[in-house]
Chains A and B, each alone.
Chain A
Amino acid sequence: MSDLETQIRNISLKSPSEALDARVFAVLRDNDESIIGDRKNEQQDAARTSDSIQTIQPGRRGAAMTSGWIVAAVSMAIGAIAGRSLPSFSEIHGHRSQHVSVEETTALNSENQQQQFLNTPELEIKNQDSRLVSTTNGHTESSQIAESLWISPLAAAVAWEQQTGQIFNVRNHINDRRFDMCRDCHRVGG
């Protein structure tokens, strides 16, 4: 050991208080076994609590799953009932294809039959649509009538025939999401 090391060794360090000795000996000796025991018990309690939380969690998850299934089933039942009460897409289309066949369109050409057709309850209901009323009353362009998605294609055909005096040919009719008009009108850009 060098001189400097000896010199350092001779310096008096700050010593801990007697209170620290008492505290450490209290921990080390058996008298304070209870303190350590208490700490261990606390840890065990904490572990038990976390275990119980873990056991509760699957139960909660199960309840959530059950309630989710119930909600899903109820919503499906409501959807099914509501769906049955509404007319299906195929029915609407079938109705249209039934009524607006080539034969019928030729038959519709006569004014009396047109009037009869307009007086049918279905069309009366359709006439309640403000757009239909406004178009049938005011507008002259049949393409605008046909373009409207809110107007029944059947009513539009009838209105078009009334205004133009021509026969509505279904085969020439374009009906997709964007257009609902005759091919000629479509080619012209009407």
Chain B
Amino acid sequence: MRPELEQVYRQHRQSLFTLALTILGCSGLAEDAVHEAFVRLCQKSDRPKESLVAYVFAAVRNAAVDFHRRRNNQQALMESLFHEKGKAFLLDGTAKAENHTKEDEQENELKSAIDQLDETSRQIVVMKIFSELTFDEIGHVLEMPPATAATRYRRAIMKLEEKLRKNS
């Protein structure tokens, strides 16, 4: 099963890390959680009945939740899921920065809107958009019916659209 796990990790490493980050809000802890999840997966000899991708995502989520509990359910650190692109552009030069200001503003608005979503909605958005998981798989990871996952995803997208509309 290890080669398959390695393949899943290579394909979804970004989303797995982001999923852990949505729960823990700290890059270091998120990395530890992902590592812990793979250690646990290697210890298990039985193959999952469902999709391996969903299985790995569920393992990472469980590890992150365990880490969160070990910190005595402290308020999650609100580290953003995204790179702060705008600041890097400012270092390149004023003209270039000016050209990208509007795009950056829009992007930053979108980022902050996603960061402001509730934890579960963020997890669904990350899994759906960045890893293209099906709602069945998302439902399995989050231990909820696929229909509920789909509804929550739709609501999250609507919320984001509303926020962007208001800001514009």
**What residues of chain A have their CB less than 8 Å away from a CB belonging to chain B?**
2, 4-5, 7-9, 11-17, 19-21, 23-25, 27-30, 36, 39-40
Q: B34 touching A13 by the CB < 8 A rule?
A: no
How many Å lie between the Cα of A44 and that of B110 in the bound state?
50
Q: 9 closest pairs, A vs B, by CB? A: A16-B17, A20-B31, A23-B35, A28-B6, A24-B38, A27-B38, A12-B83, A28-B2, A13-B18
Question: Is B53 interfacial (CB-CB < 8 Å)?
Answer: no
How many Å lie between the Cα of A7 and that of B13 in the bound state?
21
Q: Is the interface of B mostly helix, strand, loop or mixed?
A: helix
Q: Mark B8-28, 1 if CB is under 8 A from A, else 0.
A: 010001110110010000010
Q: Which residue of A lies closest to B114 (CB)?
A: A8
Contacts A2-B157, A4-B160, A20-B17 hold; do A13 and B81 have CB atoms under 8 A apart?
yes
Residue numbers in A under 8 Å from B147 (CB-CB): none
Point out the residue from B17, B39, B42, B126 that lies within 8 Å of A15, measured CB to CB: B17
Residue numbers in A under 8 Å from B13 (CB-CB): 16, 20-21, 24
Give the Cβ gap from A13 to chain B, nearest Cβ, in Å.
5
Instruction: List which B35-86 residues lie within 8 A (CB) of chain A.
Output: 35, 38-39, 42-43, 79-83, 85
- A and B contact pairs by CB, cutoff 8 A, 27 listed: A4-B157, A5-B157, A7-B110, A8-B114, A8-B129, A11-B107, A13-B15, A13-B82, A13-B83, A14-B17, A14-B81, A14-B82, A16-B13, A17-B27, A17-B31, A20-B34, A20-B35, A23-B31, A24-B13, A24-B38, A25-B6, A27-B35, A27-B39, A28-B5, A28-B9, A28-B42, A36-B42
Give the size category of B's interface with A: 35 or more
Give the Cβ gap from B84 to chain A, nearest Cβ, in Å.
9
Q: Which residue of A lies closest to B9 (CB)?
A: A24
Q: Which residue of B lies closest to A22 (CB)?
A: B35
